[in-house]
Every structure is written in structure tokens, then in C-alpha cells.
Chain A
Amino acid sequence: MLVRNVTMQGHKDHGKSTLIGSILMLTNSVSQARIEEAKKYSQKLGKPFEPAFILDSFEEEREGGLTIDTTRAEASYKGVAFELIDVPGHEELIKNMMSGASFADIAILLVSAKPDEGIRDQTKRHVFVARMLGINSIIVAINKMDSVEYKKEVYDKLVNEINSFFKNINFSGSVRFVPISAYNGENIKEKSEKMGWYKGKPLLEELFFLSKKKDKPKIKDLRAVVQGFIEEENKKLISARVLSGCLRKGTISVYPNGIKRKALNLIVNGKKVAKACENDTVAIELDAPLNEARGLVISSSSKPIITKKINALVFSTIKLGNNSKISIRLLGKEFAAKKLSINEVIDASNGLHKKGNFIKPLDAGRVAIDLGDYVAVEKYSELKGMGRFTFYSGSKFGGVGIIE
């Protein structure tokens, strides 16, 4: 079955977990026992049934009425398996949001239609991060339409506001809008009779439509990132994951140094093969040993970008200034940054340029990082797996970056 990863996005309490719970029930993708268990606990807390409890399983999540950590559940619709990724909306939990959203290629952005909810900081920040992570398809679900009597005017107003936000941040991907009530299951699987004025498709149909598109890497030539030696004693046997193109037996170049080796044998999933292509993890038997392996890049024709210094767009969860000491995790390797220069500060809640020379927590910016060592990379827009990194301050997670 085709599997597509879909992340929820949106401010706390706008209905992300509820929507997944609803979809699971409407598509019969969850056991009766799990539903009963969620019902029982809603009752115990003196609440009407919370479909969110199908996902929110920790005691603290149920008692506190919020998602703490990301989780996933699968729903099948028309022969496609949608891996629905729930994430927390609370701003302090944004690292958990990024952990979940990093796997997705489609996002459902929830915006509550309730008068006191609407477009909030996390609504915009999530979009900023989603776009950075390369999500090009967003379905905006205007939720809780039941609480505004399913009125068209409320929906139209929010659609306008969100559209102008997307324009401000130059979002060029595809955006679709659907009015729903996650709680009542309106406009999710079937068209809602309560919103006859809405002419589009229900949510799952929109999702199904988007599931047919799949981004392919722009780079067509071989790029494989080396994971390490398979046996520590035998430095002729390495493991690599192919990110683009195909690896064949014969001469290969290993970057950043450009060392030449011969690939004598290729083994994928336990079998000897003539070639290993995109998304294969391959064991390579080399003609001569390598001194080090992890984080190197294999190519056969064209050369990746070889550099010590990267220019990147970052989203930071810590304060980041020109003197900040950070380490970068790139290609599975860690680099202590020699120098960090902040070139531009961006307000992640509106995507606009900001004055100043440091990045506040939960804001973004453009930076130049001197890694102190040569690496082989690509721009994120060309090949995601070779152009993205996370950064840390000591052992504290600091945020994500993409190479521009």
C-alpha cells in the first residue's frame, strides 16, 4: 500500500489530536477497544468523549488536555495508507513538533474558527517550519465550525487572513482550504450537509488528491551518504544510504576528499545486486580500506559541493548570536562550529525581516557557519538529505537548518 506521511500543524487546542482521532474512527482504522478506552477516561475526567485521547495516551496529556509528544497512527482511505503524525501545539514543545513533522510531505494546518482562537503565533510558526522542512502541500482545515453555527462568513474571513499570510511568506506550494468540525466529523469523509455553501471536497478527498504527487530530488546523479563500517575490523566493508541516482559496481569517488575506490560487490537487504538506487541502504565491498567512513558522500559522475563554510536558513529554539558556541549534526556527523555569523534575523511568526544581530528563541534567520572541516553537501532545495542539519548548544537541542 502507498504510504504517505501527513503531519498536523497548528496552535495548541485547535484540534489536531481530535482530527486524527476522528479520521481513525471514520475510516475504521482503530480498534473498538482503543475507542472504548478513550471513552472511559473521558468519562472518568467528567468530560464528554474526547477523540484526542485515542492519541494522547500519557496520563499528563489527558489530565492536562494537551499533547506532550509526537505520535503516529495509520488510516487507510481509498487504498492509500496515511501515516497521520500528531504533534504538540504548545510553543515550549516545538522540538517535539519538529521531530514529528520532519517525516511528513503533506501538512494539515488546523485553525480554529472559534472567535477567541483563530490565527495564532504557533499557527504561523508551524507554517514557517513546515515550509523550511520542504513541505509543499498544505491543507488548511478551518476547524470547530460547529461552534460558529457552520457560518460561511467566519470561514471566508479566516481564509482571507491565511491567504495574505501565505503571500507574506512567499509560500509557493499548493494550499487547499476545507471547513470542518473535527469533533463532529463534519466534512471529513463525506461532504457536510451543514455546510452546503462549501463547494470543495471533504478533507480526506483533498488528502487523497495530494497523495498522488510525490517530490523527487532535483539531483539525478548518484549521491550516497556513508553510514559507517559494517565491521570495525574490516574497513573495506561500508554501509551507505543512496539518496539519489544509482550506485553501480566499479569506480566511485568518495567526498569531500575525492578518493577513488572500486565497488566490488553491492548488497541490498541481504542480497547481492548489480545496482543500488534511491532509498536503498547498501553494503559496499571496496577494493581497498578507508580510514574513516561516517558522513562521507559517494558519487560517480558529478561532484557534490565541497566546502568548509555553509550558508543556511535556521529556525532556532535557543538564543543565537555571533558568539554562540554550537555544534552541527550534518550527514550523521557532528561538527563543532568554528564560527557563526548571523546575517539576517527573521520573525518566524510572519516571515518578515527583523532588525538586530541575534536570533531570539522561536525565531529564524540566515547564518554562515564555519564547520572547521571540509564536507560534501548539497543545497536543501536540490537534495534534502544532504542539505539539512540540526544544531545543539552543549547537549541542548537548538533548532534546524537548511543549506541555501
Chain B
Amino acid sequence: MIEQNLKELEERSIFILREAKSKFKNVAALWSMGKDSTTMLALARKAFLGKVPFPVIHIDNGIDFPETYKFRDDLTKKWNLDLIVAKSEIKPEISGFSCCGSNKTEALKKIMKEYKFDALIVSIRRDEHGIRAKERVFSARDKNFRWNYKNQAAELWDDYSSKIDTAGHVRVHPLLDWNEIDIWRYIKKERIPVNPLYFSRNGFRYRSLGCTHCTVPVKSNAKTIDDIIKELKNTDTEERAGREQDKEKEYVMQKLRAFGYM
């Protein structure tokens, strides 16, 4: 896996976060307590001189891991976060698409409407998936959260806030350029707190975190951040290999995203 220059990545993300804050009136961020969105919060603390100046949303379906809830509450206190918990419903037939997809999206829609957020910071990366690699840094969603991927706005140079025509909201992607290994290198360098589920227990660890129902751990003996970095240098499997929804059906990621999934 390719390691990029952390200082450059950091600078670009800070620029994007400030761009979002100055362009939009009412910004919020999604926080899954995973490594990417937690790294994004650490970057926001740098961009805004020590504090995260926007609310963070946890879409909670009640079946996240106990470690995840504890991690959330500890860091919320430590970093003085303005946490919004969006309760998402669980339907009995939960699996992939409906679990991580529609249920969570419905909950998010409700919160976005209630608080009238016009921008949502989402910590996706281009190297996660071919569909995510097609995203812009600033990307419009319509009223119904739909992504018009067949006609995305022009985005040249660092002019992220080009004209975006939307009656809905804009997704902001400050980590698009980062690779998985860069996230871990940065976590190490900046000593960013991480969810303990990423480290190996009994020969398994989580490489990507969803809820208990749609994430499975991967075989790994990585017990420290250094172990994880070493493991990633040599890995050939996809990060999201443990996510059920990605493999379920053809173009399922495209459909999830088109419907407003994160």
C-alpha cells in the first residue's frame, strides 16, 4: 500500500475543513467512532485551533459494539464534542443493504431535516472502493439525498466550493486523498485515540467498523498500531472485505451511494 506525505495530506484536509466551515452556514459531521472519522475530528481540532466547531452525528442502531459506545462517550468528554445521537430503527430482517443502508439513511435524513444542516462532512477515502473513488471533495445531494453521479459539478484545482446547485445538502470529503495506511501512520504520529476493536484478539481484528450485524473481523495478529501498519504494507485484500453489504449484489455500493448512503 502506498504511503503518502502526511504533512501534505494534513494540510489539504485542513484547507477543505475550513472551506466547508466558511462556505456553509450549518455544518455537521458523521462520526462512526471508526478510525477515519476520528482522524477527521483530530484534523478539525487542528484546523480550528483545538476545538471541533461543528456537531458530530452518530447514527446509532443500538447494535454497535459495547467498546464503540464506551469509546464514543470517553472521547466526547475528552474533546468536548457536540454529539448528536440519531437513533436508527432495527427491522427484524436486517442484513447488509437494509442494515447499514436504508435504516441508517432514514435516521440521518430525519436529523438533517430537524437541524437544517446544509453540509455534512463524511470521512470516505478514494482507496476504499471504486465508486467512492468517483466522488468529488464537495458533492451535492438533493432533497431526497440522491447523488446525481452522472452529472457531477466541475471541481477544478482547490476551488472546491465551485457553484453547487442543490436544494438538499453538500457532502464534504476531507479525507478523499488518504490511503488506509496513511490514516494509521497519522494516528500513530498524532497519538489519536482509536477504538480497541481494531486490534487483534484471539487471532482476529476489525479492519473496518460497521455495526455488529454487518461487520466481520479479519484474520490478524496485529496488536499494536505498528503491527497494523506492517500488516497493511504487505496486504492484498480489500479493507472492506469484512463488510457484508459490499458483496451482496451487483453495483450495491453505487446504489447505496446514489440513495444517500455514506
State the A residues within 8 Å of B (CB): 1, 3, 29, 31-34, 41, 54-55, 57-60, 68-74, 76, 81, 95-96, 98-99, 102-103, 227-231, 237, 239, 241, 267-270, 279-281, 283, 294, 329, 332, 334, 385, 388, 390, 392, 395, 397, 400
Check B7–A269 contact: CB distance below 8 A.
yes
Interface string of B248-262 (1 = CB under 8 A from A): 001100100000000
B45 contacts the other chain (CB 8 A): yes
Check A57–B2 contact: CB distance below 8 A.
no
5 A-B contacts, Cβ less than 8 Å apart?
Answer: A74-B2, A267-B49, A269-B46, A334-B163, A397-B162
| Of B54-62, B66-74, B84-92, B235-243, the one touching chain A | B235-243
Check A227–B15 contact: CB distance below 8 A.
yes
B155 contacts the other chain (CB 8 A): yes
A400 surroundings in chain B (CB, below 8 A): 156
Q: How far is the CA of A3 from the CA of B18 in the complex (A)?
A: 24
Helix, strand, loop or mixed for chain A's interface? mixed
A58, A227, A230, A281: residue with the most chain B Cβ atoms closer than 10 Å: A281
Q: How far is the CA of A54 from the CA of B127 in the complex (A)?
A: 12
Check A332–B161 contact: CB distance below 8 A.
yes
Interface string of B1-20 (1 = CB under 8 A from A): 01111011011001100110
B222 contacts the other chain (CB 8 A): no
Give the contacting residue for A227; candidates B19, B153, B156; CB below 8 A. Answer: B19
Q: How far is the CA of A113 from the CA of B154 in the complex (A)?
A: 31
Nearest CB on B from A132, distance (A): 12
Check B7–A76 contact: CB distance below 8 A.
no
Check A59–B254 contact: CB distance below 8 A.
yes
Check B154–A58 contact: CB distance below 8 A.
no
Give the contacting residue for A76; candidates B2, B130, B156; CB below 8 A. Answer: B2
Q: How far is the CA of A392 from the CA of B163 in the complex (A)?
A: 8
Q: How far is the CA of A29 from the CA of B155 in the complex (A)?
A: 26
Q: How far is the CA of A81 from the CA of B93 in the complex (A)?
A: 44
B134, B161, B179: residue with the most chain A Cβ atoms closer than 10 Å: B134
A41 surroundings in chain B (CB, below 8 A): 250
Q: How far is the CA of A269 from the CA of B250 in the complex (A)?
A: 41
Q: How far is the CA of A72 from the CA of B46 in the complex (A)?
A: 27
Check A390–B159 contact: CB distance below 8 A.
yes
Q: How far is the CA of A95 from the CA of B162 in the complex (A)?
A: 13
Question: Given known contacts A60-B150, A281-B14, is B134 in contact with A228 (CB within 8 Å)?
Answer: no
Q: How far is the CA of A392 from the CA of B152 in the complex (A)?
A: 15
Q: How far is the CA of A270 from the CA of B6 in the complex (A)?
A: 14
B201 contacts the other chain (CB 8 A): no
Check B150–A68 contact: CB distance below 8 A.
yes
Check B10–A3 contact: CB distance below 8 A.
no
Question: Given known contacts A55-B130, A390-B159, is B2 in contact with A397 (CB within 8 Å)?
Answer: no
Q: How far is the CA of A33 from the CA of B237 in the complex (A)?
A: 7
Residues 67-104 of B contacting A (Cβ, < 8 Å): none
Nearest CB on B from A235, distance (A): 12
Q: How far is the CA of A120 from the CA of B257 in the complex (A)?
A: 35
Nearest CB on B from A117, distance (A): 26
Q: How far is the CA of A157 from the CA of B37 in the complex (A)?
A: 53
Check B2–A230 contact: CB distance below 8 A.
no
Give the contacting residue for A241; candidates B5, B15, B131, B179; CB below 8 A. Answer: B15
B15 surroundings in chain A (CB, below 8 A): 227, 239, 241, 281
Nearest CB on B from A299, distance (A): 20
Question: Given known contacts A99-B154, A400-B156, is B5 in contact with A329 (CB within 8 Å)?
Answer: no
Nearest CB on A from B148, distance (A): 11
Nearest CB on B from A189, distance (A): 17
Check B156–A99 contact: CB distance below 8 A.
yes
Check A98–B238 contact: CB distance below 8 A.
no
B237 surroundings in chain A (CB, below 8 A): 31-33
Nearest CB on B from A23, distance (A): 13
Check B162–A96 contact: CB distance below 8 A.
no
